[in-house]
Amino acid sequence: MRAESPSYDRPLAGAKVLDLSQGIAGPYCGMLLAQYGAEVIKVEPAEGDWGRTLGARFGDHTAIALSGNRGKRSIALDLKSAGGRGLLARLAARADVFIENFRPGVSERLGVGYGAVQAANPNVIYVSISAFGQNGPRRSQPGSDMVAQAFSGMMMVNRAPDGPPKPTGFYTADTVTALYAFQAVAMSLAARAFEGKGRHLDISLVHASAAFLTQKVIEGRLEGAAPKKINVPAGSYRTRDGWITVTLTKETHFAGLARTIGREDLLSDARFASFAARAEHAEALLPIVREAFADRASAEWLRALAEADVLCSPINSVNDWAADPHTRAVGTIAEEDLPELPPIPWVKIPGAVHPAPDDARTRWPDIGGDAQDILREALGLDDGAIDALVAQGVVILKSTTSA
């Protein structure tokens, strides 16, 4: 069969990815590669990647697993066995991209550290995702999304002025790490033809989180540990029946806000005459704005603010956003079918060509559900050889993982 050429639909067509990662950051990176046309094989243990167990479980799937495994094929291997490690090494030798998120040193013990894979496969783009990176005094320290948010400063940035530091309420560190990893892989694949060899990408949750906070890092150096808010009274406000947000990027926005809430007197108050002055006197201004917004319903305020050209929005739940007429009109969400589950809402990847409903990129793998096809196609094994590996417990098929 003739290999498919890269296209806008599948810019990574022909690229082979071996994804050993579990959880969120690594799997989400692998999912993005699959959605852009790469062939992604997910290697997991018999019980599945731990992302399949965190949260409400639906068969082999959770919300975390559904977000990270779309478009992949799965093979379950016993990596404690020599046979399992041997199959893994053979799969790694054919990969354009190898993704792992073990603690530093574990992949070496499995025989698929960068040195071993690169020796067998000099062109491999080898991706190591970890909490603190492959080097440094914290390299062996375990970590997670919340640990990365805490260590990088994200939790401190996210605190309310009078409240404790807090995480974002979403796996932000994991997700931005996945995005940076995907970006690095895509650029490395583009450059590899000119470099003539692969490379090792060392990407940590802490580094990615700090990169995401670059503006705050610069601000902290120039202004000190607790810089003042730059656009007071931007923020979230309770209305008579819900919550809205208001923000300001120009001085005219404050004038529009003051007039909308019936407080034109604020415009002649020297304490509120500029962004800098309002930041200095936030404690005096914010209660005035809060009290005003509490009087009327959200829809009334949003109409009035929009007429005054003030930046504003309802504060939605994710379900509110999905049901909003604008979201539906622009086709941001596709619904995909998965047996025995309600239709899965899939937020289309910005800038990508969304695959057709019958495309393999719209399916989700069960644990080990593609093992036989992978072993036949990728390694050329016949049914007898595959049956022997299953009998030895080296390869775990879907029927045995569910037992």
Residue ending a domain, choose from 285, 317, 349: 317
Closest by CA to 72, choosing from 271, 314, 376, 365, is 365
pTM score above 0.85:
yes
Neighbours of 283 (CB within 10 A): 10
Q: Are residues 390 and 281 in the same domain?
A: no
Q: Are residues 78 and 176 in the same domain?
A: yes
Q: In the chain, pLDDT over 70 holds for what percent of residues?
A: 98
Encode pLDDT of 276-299 as tens digits: 999 999 999 999 999 999 999 999
Residue 335 covered by a domain: no
Encode pLDDT of 95-121 as tens digits: 999 999 999 999 999 999 999 999 999
Q: What is the pLDDT of residue 401?
A: 56
Identify the band that residue 225 occupies on the pLDDT scale cut at 50, 70 and 90.
Answer: low
Q: Are residues 254 and 396 in the same domain?
A: no
Residue 330 covered by a domain: no
Instruction: Reduce the DSSP state of residue 153 to 3 states and report it.
Output: coil
pLDDT of 1 > 50? The answer is no
Radius of gyration of the chain (CA): 25
Q: Are residues 303 and 196 in the same domain?
A: no
Residue 111 covered by a domain: yes
The answer, yes or no, to whether the previous bond of 6 is cis (omega within 30 of 0) is no
Residue ending a domain, choose from 250, 283, 317: 317
Q: Are residues 242 and 116 in the same domain?
A: no
Residues 6 or more apart in contact with residue 104 via CB below 8 angstroms:
128, 130, 133, 134, 139, 140
Q: Are residues 138 and 167 in the same domain?
A: yes
Q: Are residues 20 and 98 in the same domain?
A: yes
Residue 343 covered by a domain: no
Neighbours of 67 (CB within 10 A): 20
Identify the band that residue 162 occupies on the pLDDT scale cut at 50, 70 and 90.
Answer: confident
Neighbours of 240 (CB within 10 A): 12
Identify the band that residue 163 occupies on the pLDDT scale cut at 50, 70 and 90.
Answer: confident
Q: What is the pLDDT of residue 339?
A: 83
Distance CA 69, CA 162 (A): 40
Q: Are residues 116 and 171 in the same domain?
A: yes
Residue ending a domain, choose from 317, 348, 376: 317
Show the CA angle centred on residue 166, arms to residues 164 and 168, nearest 5°.
155
> Which one-letter DSSP state was computed for residue 271?
G
Average pLDDT, integer, range 360-371 = 96
User: What is the torsional sign of CA 172, 176, 177, 182?
Assistant: positive
Torsion angle of C-alpha atoms 159, 165, 171, 176, degrees rounded to 10: 70
Alpha carbons within 13 A on the beta-carbon side of 115: 6
Distance CA 14, CA 192 (A): 14
Q: What is the pLDDT of residue 63?
A: 96
Domain of 306 in residue numbering reads as: 235-317
Q: Are residues 85 and 114 in the same domain?
A: yes
Residue 300 covered by a domain: yes
Identify the band that residue 400 occupies on the pLDDT scale cut at 50, 70 and 90.
Answer: low
Residue 351 covered by a domain: no
Encode pLDDT of 172-211 as tens digits: 999 999 999 999 999 999 999 999 999 999 999 999 999 9
Helices 172-195 and 145-152 pack at an angle, to 10 degrees, of 90
Encode pLDDT of 234-253 as tens digits: 999 999 999 999 999 999 99
Residue 222 covered by a domain: no
Residues 29/180, Cβ–Cβ less than 8 Å: no
Q: What is the pLDDT of residue 398?
A: 79
Distance CA 215, CA 185 (A): 24
Residues 86/375, Cβ–Cβ less than 8 Å: no
Distance CA 300, CA 239 (A): 10
The answer, yes or no, to whether the previous bond of 233 is cis (omega within 30 of 0) is yes
| Mean confidence (pLDDT) of the chain | 94
Helix (H) / strand (E) containing 196: none
Encode pLDDT of 254-279 as tens digits: 999 999 999 999 999 999 999 999 99
Distance CA 246, CA 312 (A): 4
Distance CA 229, CA 276 (A): 9
Residue 120: which CATH number? 3.40.50.10540
Residues 29/178, Cβ–Cβ less than 8 Å: yes
Distance CA 242, CA 232 (A): 21
Q: Are residues 108 and 31 in the same domain?
A: yes
Query: What string of H, E and C letters represents the secondary structure of 91-131?
Result: HHHCCCEEEECCCCCHHHHCCCCHHHHHHHCCCCEEEEEEC
Q: What is the pLDDT of residue 301?
A: 98
Q: Are residues 203 and 239 in the same domain?
A: no
> Which one-letter DSSP state was computed for residue 272?
G
Residue 102 covered by a domain: yes
- Quote the number of domains for the chain: 2
Q: Are residues 286 and 205 in the same domain?
A: no
Residues 239/301, Cβ–Cβ less than 8 Å: yes
Residues 175/28, Cβ–Cβ less than 8 Å: yes
Residue 263: which CATH number? 3.30.1540.10
Q: What is the pLDDT of residue 2?
A: 53
User: What is the torsional sign of CA 137, 176, 243, 219?
Assistant: positive
